[in-house]
Structure 1
Amino acid sequence: MATTKIDRAQVADTALRLLNEVGLDGLTLRAIAKELGVQAPALYWHFKNKQALLDEMATVMYRRMAADGPPGADEPTWQDQLCAVNRALRAMLLSHRDGAKVYGGARFTGTDHAESLELYLGRMCQEGWELRDAVRAGTLAYAYTMGFVAEEQGSAPRPEERGEPFDVAARAERLAAYPLAAAAGPHLFTSYDERFEEGLTVLVAGIEATYRPHG
């Protein structure tokens, strides 16, 4: 291979591109190095292991999501803001194969995310929320979105596969001895957009009833 000078940004960008082709399990440092035209050890100058690379990839994913400013910053209410943030998060995760797996549990390598967090928490606190409750509300919504997308991508892991129908009829036939479980198929494996929005509505109502200051 030719000697090529690379930097962290090149490695992360290449890794995200390959992610859509091979998935997280197939994303090896060797494969990334081959794509960049370098030997695998060259990557260790920038990332000590694969998890360090995943952290950088998640950071780049976030930066791209917030490229036009913190999601939800212009929304009129905290409810609208919370929904906008999580819609943006879901869209970003779905734009990458195994996006939820890469993003979940990653440790950001920069402080870019702090701007959005400060904005969100600042708004909530100004409206009378306790910091603890504002954090709980945000992390609850985040956990909902991450879990929803993880399940969604389990059925259609590639971005271009999103929307392809799960074979509900074959599932129902296989579960014929369990009529309710069989009939639940359409509610489990279709209408992801509708179900996500419905879940957000339920979640926000629960957050408001549980945490929002009254009086």
Structure 2
Amino acid sequence: MSTERRAPLDRVRVADTALKLLNEVGLEGLTLRAIAKELDVKAPALYWHFKDKQALLDEMATEMLRRMTADFVADPDTRDWRETFIRLMSGLREHLLRYRDGAKVYAGTHFTDMSYAEPMEANLRMLNRAGFPPEAAARAWFTAYSYTIGYVIEEQAMGPDPVTGGGGYDLAARSERLAGQPLAAEAGREMFQQRDEGFAAGLRAVVAGIEATLLPDPGN
């Protein structure tokens, strides 16, 4: 009989296993039964730790945040909030792309601990020092954050999958369908190709809009 001891089943181990399995099966295929099988336990054992799949997704999103925190906090000595914003949101996107359907898992979940508090405080403090009143800093942060989450949801849905390399939008077929709408047909090449450049261009537009509408004019 084997004397090897398995690691105890706890929330951290379940969430870690779920994140690894996510890259294989995607969000739709991620079931408590599949996770239990991966852990070599019976599915009811997971209910001691998570009442349902949504509770597990909340823990998975929290674990993702824990892993990205070091790359998701503004440097306290930063002088250019615009470049900092771009770096932070680019880092968020990079982390979300490490997981199949990562943005879908992350969006709309409720964090299970206070891991989010210090990064949020530091980043809002950075904006406040740059001249944004607290309300404007919060709106600026949430606007850029929402753009990033939404962009990654769309790019992961359209493929190709950055983890598996599969999928991808058939631009040739799309162009044929839109032969009578040449501008819409050509727009596909801008929207569905060169995703890194597209994200960066959109984020710069968001940051410019934030500066124009939310940052008070020091001369007034």
Pair in the same fold by TM > 0.5: yes
* CA distance, structure 1, for counterparts of residue 21 and residue 159 of structure 2: 17
Superposed CA deviations along residues 89-124 of structure 1, whole A, max 9, x for unmatched, are 101111101111100001111111111111111222
* CA distance, structure 1, for counterparts of residue 173 and residue 72 of structure 2: 43
Aligned CA distance change for structure 1 residues 173 and 191 (closer, same or farther; 3 Å): same
TM alignment of 1:46-65, pairs within 5 A: 46-65=49-68
The alpha-carbon deviation at position 69 of structure 1 amounts to 5.5
Q: Could you say what the CA RMSD is over the residues aligned between the two structures, in angstroms? A: 2.1
Q: Which residue of 2 aligns with 1:107?
A: 110
- SS of 1:185's equivalent in the other structure is helix
Superposed CA deviations along residues 20-76 of structure 1, whole A, max 9, x for unmatched, are 11111110000000100100010011111111100000001011111x364332643
- Structure 1 portions without partners, runs of 5+: none
TM-score (norm 2): 0.89
CA contact (8 A) 1:101 1:150 kept: yes
CA contact (8 A) 1:71 1:84 kept: no
Aligned CA distance change for structure 1 residues 129 and 40 (closer, same or farther; 3 Å): same
CA contact (8 A) 2:178 2:185 kept: yes
CA contact (8 A) 1:72 1:85 kept: yes
Q: Which residue of 1 aligns with 2:26?
A: 23
Alignment-mate amino acid for residue 15 of structure 2: A
CA contact (8 A) 2:161 2:168 kept: no
CA contact (8 A) 1:168 1:185 kept: yes
* Number of aligned residue pairs: 213
TM-score (norm 1): 0.91
The alpha-carbon deviation at position 165 of structure 1 amounts to 5.8
* CA distance, structure 1, for counterparts of residue 141 and residue 165 of structure 2: 26
- Structure 2 portions without partners, runs of 5+: none
- SS of 2:60's equivalent in the other structure is helix
Q: Which residue of 2 aligns with 1:167?
A: 170
Aligned CA distance change for structure 1 residues 69 and 144 (closer, same or farther; 3 Å): closer
Aligned CA distance change for structure 1 residues 174 and 126 (closer, same or farther; 3 Å): closer
Residue 96 of structure 2, aligned match among 77, 83, 93: 93
